[in-house]
Amino acid sequence: MLPSQRDAKSASEYPKSLSNWLELDYFRRPRRLKRVRGLLTWVVLLGSSALIAAITWLPGNRQIYQAASVSTAHALFNEDCQACHDAKFGTAKRLLSGDNAVRSVTDEACLRCHAGDVHHVRQVGKSACVSCHHEHQGLKAMARVQDSHCTSCHADLKSHTDTTKPGDADRPFRDVTTFLGGDRPHPPFFLSENPQDEGTIRFNHQAHMNPDGLLVAGSLERKTLRCTDCHQTDDAGRYMRPINYPIHCRDCHPLNVQVFGSITELAASEEADRFRNEPAAHPNGPREGPETVRAILRDRFIRFALQFPSVHTGRTRSEKSHPLPGRPKPVAAANPGRSAADWAEQQLGEASRLLFEGAGGCRYCHRVSAESSGEADRLPKFELPNINTRWFPHSVFSHERHRSLDCRQCHAQSAESRLTSDVLMPTIQSCQQCHNGKTQGARTDCVECHAYHAPHETRDSPRNLAIQDFLRGQAHPSSAKAHQVAPQLKTPLND
């Protein structure tokens, strides 16, 4: 304590000794913090260097050098920088030259694990994989490619097309800059003026969409059909499964057959009723045809005749002699009627005439391509259904994503169409109502609806990895060369 503080009285009495009270060398005296400061600086410097070294050289921590983790699909290789970075980072080179094309990831790195086929056999030039596929953007989908990567060619397609290679003759060049409007707007979905549905099954949508319902065969029940009674999406929810006769048509349009002629035996006539209630088979798969239907029916008639000989012998079973046990069997009486085979063949002739020649048989739905001929017992030939399962093979679509909409919002004509040849596909305008480019609209970027690479099946990607090699990011080295094959034409899936 200073004297002045100890004794206030003395301070006021002796003002001239004030300087004695102050400790003027206070700044010279050593302080504890200053003493350790140098040491602290070295500790921090060496410590952080060691930490950086540890992070760099110890496995499992290199992520601090990344702007963000790699995409979800590549998360397995997040630590394994070399899996992709197979070239120098070249930061200085990039900075000095200002060249964005200096890359630390070559196409070869990607091709070790992926098939890299380009887009179209006719395209001129190709970009590096990483120019479209940006990494280190966290969970953002890697395959979300900006439109500029497409319009770099598609805004002026002709000058990016190798016209010496064969192309699609009836596809004129249509330049595209955006999905909406613009001076080079997206082409309509059908390039031909008058598209046709080439299906051959006679079908009338209007008649089947009758709001009062339709009569189900063999009952008084009326059923009002909905679109989804006949059209169900595939497992991926993308496209509609093909129409199937047994599932979608048979209940109302069975292929009726019956046993002709009068039957006296009670059991046989009950069996004949059952026979009538079981319609003839319908071909299943393109390799089956009317012959299959007839062969199955022939078997049924023969089985019937063997089970009830009375229908062809004219004798019922009760008239048959029952052999007594222990006695020799009596010799069978000579057959007064026809053989079972003869009878079945005659029945089959009647049934075939109705099924294959009659207006209520196959011809109710199918077009005939060749009439029957008497010689060699040849049945008529019917055209294959040819129901299209993909309409826009150069784009992708998902019915599931639009499931809350009424089908008719896109397939506007479907409930009024009477002819198979009518095309019921949506127009581009129906899509643009929602895919409208506004902030509250659905997306309009090209990759929302288009793929870039040819479909997987047509490409050659490495499929021979062991799990351990896969985890190490080591695709089979020889496979990189294997996919440098010529790019395949993007083939429509329904070809």
Please, which residues bridge with residue 222 across strands?
A: 215
Q: Which is nearer to ligand HEC, 302 or 365 (CB)?
A: 365
Least distance to ligand HEC from the beta carbon of 60, Å?
10
Least distance to ligand HEC from the beta carbon of 305, Å?
22
Least distance to ligand HEC from the beta carbon of 91, Å?
7
Least distance to ligand HEC from the beta carbon of 44, Å?
24
Least distance to ligand HEC from the beta carbon of 456, Å?
6
Q: Which is nearer to ligand HEC, 309 or 361 (CB)?
A: 361
Q: Which is nearer to ligand HEC, 241 or 303 (CB)?
A: 241
Q: Which is nearer to ligand HEC, 202 or 438 (CB)?
A: 202
List, in order, residues 6 or more apart from 156 with CB less than 8 Å away.
Answer: 175
Q: Which is nearer to ligand HEC, 308 or 382 (CB)?
A: 382
Give the residue among 121, 128, 182 at the shortest CA–CA distance from 151.
182
Q: Which is nearer to ligand HEC, 311 or 362 (CB)?
A: 362
Q: Which is nearer to ligand HEC, 316 or 430 (CB)?
A: 430
Structure tokens at 149: 């990567």
Least distance to ligand HEC from the beta carbon of 349, Å?
15
Q: Which is nearer to ligand HEC, 105 or 348 (CB)?
A: 105
Q: Which is nearer to ligand HEC, 20 or 66 (CB)?
A: 66
Give Rg (Cα) of the chain: 42
Least distance to ligand HEC from the beta carbon of 257, Å?
10
- Beta strand 381-382 pairing with 222-223: unpaired
List, in order, residues 6 or more apart from 110 with CB less than 8 Å away.
Answer: 84, 116, 129, 130, 133
Q: Which is nearer to ligand HEC, 340 or 355 (CB)?
A: 355
Give the residue among 245, 242, 217 at the shortest CA–CA distance from 231.
242
Least distance to ligand HEC from the beta carbon of 41, Å?
29
Instruction: Give, in order, the Cα–Cα distances in Å from 300 to each of 255, 290, 293, 315, 348.
Output: 15, 15, 11, 21, 10
Least distance to ligand HEC from the beta carbon of 417, Å?
7
Q: How far apart are CA 199 and CA 313, in angstroms?
A: 48
Least distance to ligand HEC from the beta carbon of 309, Å?
29
- 297: number of Cβ within 10 Å: 20
